[in-house]
């Protein structure tokens, strides 16, 4: 098996496991970008998604002006293709982290790119909460914070897990795109060391690793959502 792999994937073997351009480095860079941009982008997306529901006309704090501000911000950033966003906010990235290339620098455009997508996902998930449950909580004297935490977020938790899974999968794709222009990770491995050098075996293995990561996220997300949903119904 080892001999077969060396024979059929010589460039993969030559790339090595460790070092600055090794496979382990690329994998950890992809995981680093995915994790931290999910944290930062997810936090902003959650806040914006909650606000879009709260300030909507049928929300618990209806305010058309504030809703329009949040809605337009989300729509604006969603309208910009990620590859253009990378270049557009490069000066901002330079100000924040001191450089425009590398995995750390990629966190800025990745977070900005993923937050509007997640905000819309959160908005849809929270809007699925039964209005009668919200009205019952209001009738019992629950505060707005109680309704947000114990009704909206609690009732929609399984759906929030599902949309978070979708967002993470989308984010993996964005990290690959960012990697292709110098941010590192498996995207950089596939393009710089695979496609640009006509090393098809490197591109193939990098693609397979990205697919495995996506499948793992999907499986874990589905199992977690089913477990939470089962727990809530029992």
Q: Name the maximum alpha-carbon separation found in the chain.
A: 71
Q: Would you say 108 and 41 are in contact if contact means Cβ atoms under 8 Å apart?
A: no
Asked whether residue 172 is domain-assigned, the answer is yes
- Residue 10 forms part of a structural domain: no
Residue 181 sits in a domain whose CATH number is 1.10.3720.10
105 in any annotated domain: yes
- Whole-angstrom distance, CA of residue 216 vs CA of residue 224: 12
Compute the distance between CA of residue 41 and CA of residue 117 in angstroms, rounded to an integer: 9
H helices present in the chain, as ranges? 2-8, 10-15, 23-54, 64-79, 82-88, 90-97, 103-127, 131-139, 144-146, 153-155, 157-178, 185-190, 200-233
Q: How far is CA 143 from CA 38, 160, 192, 193, in A?
A: 30, 22, 54, 56
Tally of structural domains, the chain: 1
The pLDDT profile of the chain, 234 residues, written as one tens digit per residue, is 778 877 778 888 888 888 788 899 999 999 999 999 999 999 999 999 999 999 998 889 999 999 999 999 999 999 988 888 888 888 888 888 887 778 888 899 999 999 999 999 999 999 988 888 888 888 888 888 988 988 898 889 999 999 999 999 999 989 888 876 677 889 889 888 888 888 899 999 999 999 999 999 999 999 998 888 877 766
Which residue range is the domain that position 102 belongs to? 22-233
What residues contact 81, with CB distance under 8 A and at least 6 apart?
none
In the chain, what is the straight-line distance between the N-terminal and C-terminal CA atoms, in Å?
A: 49
Sequence-separated (6 or more) residues with CB below 8 Å from residue 105: 93, 97, 99, 183
Does 98 map to a domain? Answer: yes
What pLDDT score was predicted for residue 233? 67
Residue 29 lies in a domain: yes
- Asked if residue 210 belongs to a domain, the reply is yes
Is residue 77 one of the residues assigned to a domain? yes
Is residue 180 in some structural domain? Answer: yes
């Amino acid at each position: 098996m080892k001999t077969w792999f060396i024979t059929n994937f010589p460039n993969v073997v030559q790339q090595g496991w460790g070092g600055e351009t090794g496979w382990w480095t690329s994998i950890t860079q992809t995981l680093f970008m995915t994790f931290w941009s999910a944290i930062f982008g997810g936090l902003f997306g959650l806040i914006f998604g909650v606000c879009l529901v709260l300030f909507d006309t049928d929300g618990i704090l209806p305010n058309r002006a504030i809703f329009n501000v949040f809605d337009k911000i989300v729509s604006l950033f969603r309208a910009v293709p990620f590859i253009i966003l990378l270049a557009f906010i490069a000066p901002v990235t330079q100000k924040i982290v001191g450089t425009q290339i590398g995995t750390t620098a990629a966190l800025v455009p990745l977070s900005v790119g993923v937050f509007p997508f997640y905000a819309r996902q959160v908005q849809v998930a929270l809007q699925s909460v039964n209005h009668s449950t919200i009205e019952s909580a209001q009738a019992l004297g629950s505060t707005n914070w109680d309704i947000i935490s114990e009704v909206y977020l609690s009732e929609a938790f399984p759906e929030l897990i599902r949309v978070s899974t979708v967002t993470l999968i989308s984010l993996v794709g964005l990290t690959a795109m960012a990697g292709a222009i110098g941010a590192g990770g498996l995207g950089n491995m596939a393009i710089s060391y695979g496609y640009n050098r006509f090393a098809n075996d490197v591109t193939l293995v990098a693609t397979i690793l990205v697919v495995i990561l996506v499948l793992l996220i999907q499986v874990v997300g589905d199992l977690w959502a089913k477990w939470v949903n089962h727990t809530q119904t029992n």
